[in-house]
């Protein structure tokens, strides 16, 4: 949506089509927007609509990392002010509705079935709508925004490097008015770490992050097993013990990965399709918005016969991921309480080789 909005802002005559696999009526993981996202929303000309949407302010983070003591990082010291806990469905729907108002065509509940590049480097795409109607599209350029699956890019024979098996097991809670702490809470534990954040409409998400094999072995989708794990925490359990669970635990992939290359003739990968960051960074949505905007300017250059835009985009992705890998390794190394744990040992020992190193 960030790419669509940016393209239409800079060239309203373009025909922009978005193929959306789902709708905006199902729970979406990823609910924290950092303060530095505000300039991006302003650049997309959606800041007033975002403010009116009533998302919950987040005034910082608290982490028990490297010790059992909580340490706070106040957003009051951030030049952009506070962050937000999002109603993620409402946020995504807002961007989509604005894009439609500005001329984008959006196919909801629609799947991409196949893609073929034509001799002139344009594309022949086959999509199937919710009504089981098959439609043929012939775009000049394709943006892969299929998330960590990178479905379209993988059809172009890209290399994919996966660094770990991090997976989240989440439960959504209903909270009372007595829970007022809006800080993001992170708490390390022997087999991983916990994340929790308040959401709009009196809800809270609590997620146990560990390796996929560990979650399978502990049968974490069984509520009794999930709660057995949270009982062993200190700060996370104190936060959710008065809350009411609204659903069974569900799992979602959270591993670090990157593809190479991230661009080609008539296509590029944006957001998580290009690379995924550990949720510990808190930068997932920011990264998606930023890369989506950057992608739009690169595409505009390409449409104007200037391929250098794609080269700059690829170089930026490379530099961004290299910096992330260093910070990722350093932050996990700060936790030294459970050095014999497979979870922590792997992250201390992993070699952060750059999969984009050979990018031209």
Residues 146-176 pLDDT 10s? 999 999 999 998 999 999 999 999 999 999 8
What is the rounded radius of gyration, in angstroms, for the C-alpha atoms of the chain?
A: 21
Contact assessment for residue 333 and residue 348, using Cβ atoms and an 8 Å cutoff = yes
Q: What is the reported pTM? A: 0.92
Residue range 120-132: mean pLDDT, rounded:
95
Kindly list the structural domains of the chain, giving each domain's residue range(s) and its CATH number in brackets, ordered by start.
53-85+165-254 (3.30.9.100)
How much is the pLDDT for 76? Answer: 56
Which two structure tokens, joined as six digits, stand for 328? 């990722």
253-289 pLDDT per residue, tens = 999 999 999 999 999 999 999 999 999 988 889 999 9
| Residues 107, 72: Cα–Cα separation, whole Å | 43
How much is the pLDDT for 59? Answer: 85
Which two structure tokens, joined as six digits, stand for 261? 């290359």
Phi-psi category of 179—alpha, beta or left, where left has phi over 0 and alpha has psi -120 to 50? beta
How much is the pLDDT for 352? Answer: 63
64-97 pLDDT per residue, tens = 999 999 998 876 556 777 889 888 899 999 999 9
**DSSP state letter for 26:** S
Predicted confidence (pLDDT) at residue 21 exceeds the cutoff of 80: yes
| Residues 258, 272: Cα–Cα separation, whole Å | 8
How much is the pLDDT for 31? Answer: 80
| Residues 347, 328: Cα–Cα separation, whole Å | 9
Helix-helix angle 342-349:308-333, to 10 degrees: 130
Q: Do you know the residue count of the chain?
A: 360
Residue range 236-261: mean pLDDT, rounded:
94
How much is the pLDDT for 353? Answer: 57
How much is the pLDDT for 358? Answer: 43
How does the average pLDDT of the chain come out, rounded?
Answer: 92
Pairing of strands 83-85, 32-33: antiparallel
How much is the pLDDT for 359? Answer: 39
């Amino acid at each position: 949506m960030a790419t669509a909005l940016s393209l239409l802002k800079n060239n309203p005559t373009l025909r922009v089509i978005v193929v959306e696999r789902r709708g905006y009526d199902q729970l979406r993981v990823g609910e924290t927007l950092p303060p530095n996202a505000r300039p991006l929303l302003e650049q997309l000309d959606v800041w007033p609509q975002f403010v009116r949407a009533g998302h919950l302010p987040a005034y910082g983070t608290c982490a028990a990392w490297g010790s059992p003591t909580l340490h706070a990082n106040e957003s009051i010291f951030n030049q952009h002010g506070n962050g937000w806990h999002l109603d993620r469905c409402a946020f995504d729907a807002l961007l989509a509705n604005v894009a439609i108002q500005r001329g984008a065509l959006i196919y909801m509940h629609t799947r991409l079935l196949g893609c073929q590049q034509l001799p002139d480097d344009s594309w022949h795409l086959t999509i199937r709508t919710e009504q089981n109607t098959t439609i043929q599209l012939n775009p000049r350029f394709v943006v892969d925004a299929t998330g960590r699956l990178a479905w379209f890019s993988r059809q172009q024979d890209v290399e994919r490097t996966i660094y770990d098996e991090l997976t989240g097991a989440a439960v959504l809670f209903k909270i009372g008015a007595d829970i007022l702490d809006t800080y993001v809470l992170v708490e390390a534990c022997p087999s991983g770490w916990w994340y929790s954040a308040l959401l709009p409409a009196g809800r809270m998400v609590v997620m146990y992050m560990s390796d996929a094999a560990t979650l399978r072995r502990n049968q974490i989708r069984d509520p009794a097993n999930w709660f057995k794990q949270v009982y062993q925490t200190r700060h996370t359990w104190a936060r959710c013990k008065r809350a009411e669970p609204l659903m069974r635990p569900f799992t979602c992939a959270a591993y670090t990965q990157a593809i190479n290359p991230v661009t080609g003739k008539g296509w590029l990968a944006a957001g998580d399709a290009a690379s995924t960051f550990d949720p510990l960074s808190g930068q997932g949505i920011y990264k998606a918005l930023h890369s989506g905007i950057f992608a739009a300017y690169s595409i505009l250059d390409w449409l104007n016969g200037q391929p250098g835009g794609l080269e700059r985009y690829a170089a930026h992705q490379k530099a961004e991921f290299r910096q992330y890998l260093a910070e990722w390794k350093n932050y996990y190394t700060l936790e030294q309480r459970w050095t014999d744990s497979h979870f922590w040992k792997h992250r201390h020992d992993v070699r952060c080789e750059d999969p984009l190193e050979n990018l031209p």
